[in-house]
Amino acid sequence: MISLSSNDPNIKLAGVASNLVGVSGRAMLAALLDGTTDPAALAELALGKLRKKRQALARALSGRFSDHHRLLLTTHLAHIDFLDEEIDQPSTAIAERLRPFEEELNRLDTIPGVDRRTAEVLLAEIGADIGAHLVMTWGTHSGHSFDGFLLRERAVFALRSPLGADVLRTAVAA
């Protein structure tokens, strides 16, 4: 919606900045809301990698931004802020409930491609004893015996899974 409300006044910030509500995007949008209309001044608010794109930003930020556009943008940003707050409430509760499993979360977080949120989901879905769960899921715990072919097929399937061998090594070490 922010992209649409800024396209009407011919401000094409989304064509240069990939995250309109990131730090740089928010700073530029806030300056627009405060009445700054100089494209070069707006482009100077860019931070990090976006600073290399200041000329493109200045071109993208040249347009006509009316009071109507300010109203729309203010409404959209307020809605985003509200949703961020709504997400923070359950996130805080989840973090509190997962505090006893911090060691397991840190171990899962070392798996390539697994960030904190993914580690939380894995822990919630599989449980804290991940190694035992995987062994039981594959049916290779002490109560079962399989011939070499079936065990090999299960191992090949596991190694071809999206997280592959790294998950297995980390999970079994847990």
CA dist 128 → 65, 72, 121, 158 (Å): 53, 47, 11, 20
Read off the pLDDT of residues 54-68 as tens digits, 9 standing for 90 and up. 999 988 888 888 888
Predicted TM-score (pTM) of the model is 0.58
DSSP 8-state symbol, 101 = G
Q: Which tokens hold the place of 74?
A: 């203010």
Q: Is 76:32 a contact under the CB 8 Å cutoff?
A: no
Whole-angstrom distance, CA of residue 98 vs CA of residue 76: 33
Q: Which residues contact 25 (CB under 8 A, 6 or more apart)?
A: 13, 17, 19
Read off the pLDDT of residues 69-111 as tens digits, 9 standing for 90 and up. 889 899 999 999 999 899 888 888 888 888 888 888 888 888 8
Q: Which residues contact 77 (CB under 8 A, 6 or more apart)?
A: 2, 21, 26, 29, 33
Query: Is pLDDT of 143 > 80?
Result: no
The domain segmentation of the chain, as residue ranges, is 2-97, 100-173
Read off the pLDDT of residues 4-22 as tens digits, 9 standing for 90 and up. 445 566 778 888 888 888 8
